[in-house]
Amino acid sequence: MKSFSFDLKLLSLIFIVLLFFASNSILARMAIATQNIDAFTFTFLRTISAMFVLLAIFFYKNRNLRISLKTNYLSGFMFFLYAICFSYSYINMLAGIGTLILFTVVQLTMIILALLSQEKLTLNKSLGIIIAFVGLVYLLYPKDDFTLSYFHTFLMFLSGIAWAIFSVLGKKSQNATLDTADSFFKATIFTLIFGIFYIFIFESSFKINFTTFIMATISGSITTAFGVFLWYKILPKMQIITASLVQLVVPILAIFLSVIFLKESITLELIISTFIILFGIFLALYKKRV
């Protein structure tokens, strides 16, 4: 007999998290595309607003703010690296190609890390991954002539690797409230250090208006803060390979959100690829039960 390997509550949390992640892509594209905010300012506002929300959650649950200065530097740096590279790559990259690169790299990095940690890659997971990738490539592979910046592609590669490592580190979390608040406190430190180089070495200036400020703050305080908090809550309940696979839903959600908020049209390719990707994930998450 076969049955789905997740309960309804866990599936609901996963969907909410993936919806938050997709919303981050939409908010970043909308804000940076206006050219009314620079990539660093967007990243800084996103990170620091997420930090304040997570610290508030931590204080509410523990009635203290005893954040250690000795832990979570790696996860903090990985989130910073993911966020800063993500923002800068979208200065000169098509949304579809950027999403494809990001989640392809996330998927491959997490699979490699899973195999190194002795996780078993079963036949149904292998087939599911292959089918989901076919659907993702079919959806996002460029249909028309396009130019691709190698530098911004490299940044998206770094972003994907950093997010994959950040997710794998989250699987080891035993206290999501503490670890997310602590990690974002460290990520804010790294962001401020980068900001010093941004101002004094590159002689760049900040650029922002009220609309992009709201977008960046929402991205940090809501979709990032609660998305990462819930992600760290559910990661210990999943294998690394499974966690990597379910994130392939994010590009689909991002494109549907683009249809709603950016007035992009739904195409036949979108419908077909959605069914292919969801079938791949459905197959991979099925397991035989005696």
Q: What is the mean pLDDT of each run of 10 residues along the chain (290 residues)?
A: 60 92 90 93 97 95 83 95 95 74 83 82 83 80 66 91 95 90 96 90 82 97 96 89 84 82 74 83 67
Distance CA 199, CA 191 (A): 12
**Do the bridges between strand 2-4 and strand 286-288 make them parallel or antiparallel, or are there none, so unpaired?**
antiparallel
Cα 145 to chain centroid distance, Å, stands at 28
- Predicted confidence at residue 96, as pLDDT, reads 65
- Predicted confidence at residue 63, as pLDDT, reads 84
Q: How far is CA 131 from CA 135, 279, 283, in A?
A: 6, 8, 9
Residue 32 CB neighbours (<10 A): 22
Distance CA 277, CA 282 (A): 9
Cα 74 to chain centroid distance, Å, stands at 17
- Predicted confidence at residue 146, as pLDDT, reads 53
Please state the domain extents for the chain.
Answer: 2-288
CA dihedral 167→171→177→181, nearest 10 degrees, is -40
Q: What angle do CA 181, 186, 187 make, to 5 degrees?
A: 95
Distance CA 274, CA 288 (A): 25
The answer to whether residues 83 and 187 touch, using CB atoms and an 8 Å cutoff, is yes
Q: How far is CA 76 from CA 12, 136, 188, 192, 236, in A?
A: 27, 29, 8, 12, 18
Q: Which SS3 state, helix, strand or coil, does residue 141 take?
A: coil
